């Protein structure tokens, strides 16, 4: 699985947006050659082009490269008689994907192996590894509850490390129910298999139990995991509202894509998009 930096993610999504906008412009042109809405589509195209140009220039200038995950699984599972292995810190930069969700479920079977109080965090950080780790699966994840608002459901920030190369992942994918969003990846692309859910026992996290449904963004559904390394999923509750708005035409699809992109940019990408657009228009 390729590492996806926020810039790369934006670039991918912007490219998709650009293609959608072009398609939208074609549709508008075909429907009504003199439609003033064509200008709007053209404006969207121009914006996409500017962002892509700016991002391309930015990466060409030498953006920070994310460190690759150095999971030495052989050493990690060496018997106690061997010398102590060198533990590799899997910091935030090594995460293959980070998501926020209203649920901790993602369809995989995880085994908790640790819990830690983190400075400045109200809730402990939970450490899980794939239940099929004995098959050599190196996938692990870190779950951090992000806020505890009485008016809002729990939100979790989940960072994924390593890749699922176990049979469990394949089985999971096969059993994915219709509610599942396919990310086009065997690493993330499976949903909540009921059997798996029941094996997931509730953790000690405030006595909470895992939700039986995952909440994934429909807008993210068409993106592969390699394209979206970090995205935001709404809570399950909010999801059902979104589920009713099924993209039925290219225009709606495009707007949904913009919504997804907007949240991604607002919540994830640490740069000022307006400034970026201004800079690229000046250049």
DSSP class per residue in 78-122:
--TTSPPPPPPP--GGG-SEEEEES-S--SS-EEEEEEE--TT-S
If binding is defined by CB under 7 A, does position 140 make contact with DNA?
A: yes
Residues 172-201 that bind DNA (CB under 7 A): 199-201
| Contact flags string 18-37 toward DNA, x per CB under 7 A | --------------------
Alpha-carbon gap, residue 17 to 191, rounded angstroms: 26
Residues 98-117 that bind DNA (CB under 7 A): 111-116
E strands in 182-241 = 230-232
If binding is defined by CB under 7 A, does position 167 make contact with DNA?
A: no
Q: Which stretch binds DNA (CB under 7 A): 8-16, 76-84, 251-259, 269-277?
A: 76-84
Residue in 203, 202, 222, 107 with CA at minimum distance from that of residue 160: 107
For residue 158, give the H/E element and its range.
strand 155-161
Residues in the chain: 283
If binding is defined by CB under 7 A, does position 204 make contact with DNA?
A: yes
Interface with DNA (CB under 7 A), residue total 30
Tokens encoding 222: 């068409």
Q: Which stretch binds DNA (CB under 7 A): 9-17, 79-87, 220-228, 236-244?
A: 79-87
Residues 228-257 that bind DNA (CB under 7 A): none
Residues 115-134 that bind DNA (CB under 7 A): 115-116, 118-120, 125, 127, 131
In the complex with DNA, the residue whose CB is nearer, 44 or 200, is 200
- Please return the burial class of 273, using the count of CB atoms within 10 Å of its CB with bins 0-12, 13-18 and 19+: middle
DSSP strand pairing (230-232 vs 155-161): unpaired
If binding is defined by CB under 7 A, does position 84 make contact with DNA?
A: yes
List residues near DNA by CB under 7 A. 76-77, 80, 84, 86-91, 111-116, 118-120, 125, 127, 131, 140, 142, 161, 199-201, 203-204
């Amino acid at each position: 699985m390729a590492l996806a930096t926020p810039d790369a993610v934006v670039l991918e999504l912007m490219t998709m947006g650009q293609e959608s906008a072009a398609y939208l412009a074609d549709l508008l042109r075909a429907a009504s050659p003199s439609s003033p809405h064509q200008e709007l589509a053209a404006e969207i195209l121009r914006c996409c082009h500017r962002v892509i140009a700016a991002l391309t220039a930015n990466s060409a200038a030498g953006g920070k490269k994310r460190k690759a995950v150095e999971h030495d699984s052989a050493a990690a599972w060496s018997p106690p008689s061997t010398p102590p292995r060198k533990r590799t810190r899997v910091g935030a930069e090594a995460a293959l994907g980070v998501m926020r969700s209203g649920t901790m479920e993602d369809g995989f079977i995880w085994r908790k192996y640790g819990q830690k109080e983190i400075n400045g965090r109200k809730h402990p950080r939970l450490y899980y590894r794939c239940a099929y780790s004995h098959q050599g699966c190196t996938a692990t994840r870190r779950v951090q509850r992000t806020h505890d608002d009485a008016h809002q459901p729990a939100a979790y920030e989940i960072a994924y490390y390593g890749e699922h190369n176990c049979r469990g992942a394949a089985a999971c994918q096969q059993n994915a129910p219709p509610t599942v969003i396919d990310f086009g990846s065997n690493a993330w692309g499976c949903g909540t298999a009921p059997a798996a859910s029941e094996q997931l026992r509730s953790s000690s996290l405030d006595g909470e139990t895992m939700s039986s449904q995952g909440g994934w963004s429909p807008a993210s559904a068409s993106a592969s995991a390699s394209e979206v390394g970090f995205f935001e999923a709404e809570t399950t509750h909010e999801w059902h509202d979104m589920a009713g708005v099924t993209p039925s035409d290219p225009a709606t699809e495009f707007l949904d894509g913009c919504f997804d992109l907007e949240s991604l940019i607002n919540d994830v990408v640490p740069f000022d998009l307006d400034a970026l657009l201004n800079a690229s228009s000046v250049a």
